[in-house]
Structure 1
Amino acid sequence: MKFFSNSIFALATAACSVAAQTPASPEMNWILSANVTPGDPIVVGPVPGGTRTILPIAGGTFWGPYFNGTLAPVGIDAGIVTPDNKFYPGGTAVLQSEDGANIIFKDNGFQTGDTIYGAVTFETGAEGYEWLNKLILVSSAKFASDTGSAVTLNIFAAGAIPEEAKKGR
């Protein structure tokens, strides 16, 4: 019984010392940046949490270390503007790479200060771009200070970039 008690004590002590250590942050890798041009906002009206506001995506451009291209003028950001004037995005857009790949982009998030953060997913069946479907992605975005409407967006992947991504460039 004494062995059992000592073993439990040793395990508890080890667990406490491990729990006190700060874990390492994951490596973050830049995937792309974009300038997004929204259309005129469409106010849907009050919903739980704020006012649903649709920002049509009129176009834009993106660039990065793995691919470049444009935003097709078919997406929307069906976000919520809170009573304290914060924007909670819920966007879907289509990225069109310079070599013709169509990639669906989805972003959901929240605003803190003047920056909007989001969780991003990509979806594509385009040959050579399937690796995008497997990434864990985060975004940071800001409305342009001069107009308050255009959006600058940056997307980063957590962890290592797959080797097949590096073959395309």
Structure 2
Amino acid sequence: MPTLRLLYTSIVELGDPLVIGNTPAGFRRVIPILGGRFSGPRIHGQILQGGADWQIARYDGSLQVKARYTLKTEDGYMIDVINRGIRHGPLEVIERLIAGEEVSPDQYYFRTTPVFEAGEPSLAWLNTIVAVASGERHPDHVVMTVYEVL
């Protein structure tokens, strides 16, 4: 039976949404990633500015997320991250999140599956793990707790 081991917790600072609008897939917007920090038992460092979360608010009320960004470890090594997932909950809770209100994360579901790509040999283990994450949305940042599936 798989178990989880903490990989890191991150605080991701977000910019104002760039609205693309209604598309055949749903309402699309891009959320710029302005930076942040991540810290865990084996890796820690900063989240670099320049990534983004390409979101689709689907017609069933759920939010499909696909973020791509770069981690820079304290040792100066770069890690590419592609993080896909979903957020959903009761309509009134989602409306409060969209309005920028603080909402307890136990009132909605926010899970992702980050995939890592590292060139540094000491970080090659990241290239071959499966990870899952739990998210908390705040008005100007997201907290992601990332776990390695053992």
Would you call these one fold, judging by a TM-score over 0.5?
A: yes
The SS at the match of 1:88 is strand
| Bigger Rg, which one | 1
- For 1:92 and 1:111, the matched residues in 2 are separated by 17
User: Structure 2: any 5+ residue segments left out of the alignment?
Assistant: 90-107
Dislocated runs of 4+, deviation >6 Å: none
Superposition pairs for residues 81-96 of structure 1, below 5 Å? 81-83=57-59, 85-96=61-72
Deviation per CA, 1:57-83: give whole Å up to 9, x if none.
Answer: 000010000011110001010011234
- For 1:115 and 1:75, the matched residues in 2 are separated by 23
- For 1:105 and 1:84, the matched residues in 2 are separated by 27
- For 2:47 and 2:145, the matched residues in 1 are separated by 14
Counterpart code for 2:121:
E
- For 2:26 and 2:13, the matched residues in 1 are separated by 24
- For 1:89 and 1:142, the matched residues in 2 are separated by 13
**Does residue 1:27 correspond to 2:21, yes or no?**
no
Q: Which residue number in structure 2 is paired with residue 134 of structure 1? A: 128
Counterpart code for 1:38:
L
Q: Using the aligned pairs only, state the percent identity.
A: 29
**Does residue 1:157 correspond to 2:148, yes or no?**
yes
Number of aligned pairs?
Answer: 132
Q: CA RMSD in A?
A: 1.4
- For 1:51 and 1:151, the matched residues in 2 are separated by 20
Superposition pairs for residues 29-108 of structure 1, below 5 Å? 29-83=5-59, 85-108=61-84
TM-score by length of 1: 0.73
Q: Once the 2 structures are TM-superposed, how far is the Cα of residue 86 of structure 1 from its aligned partner?
A: 3.3
Counterpart code for 1:133:
N
Closer, same or farther in 2 for the Cα pair 1:118/1:48, shift >3 Å?
A: farther
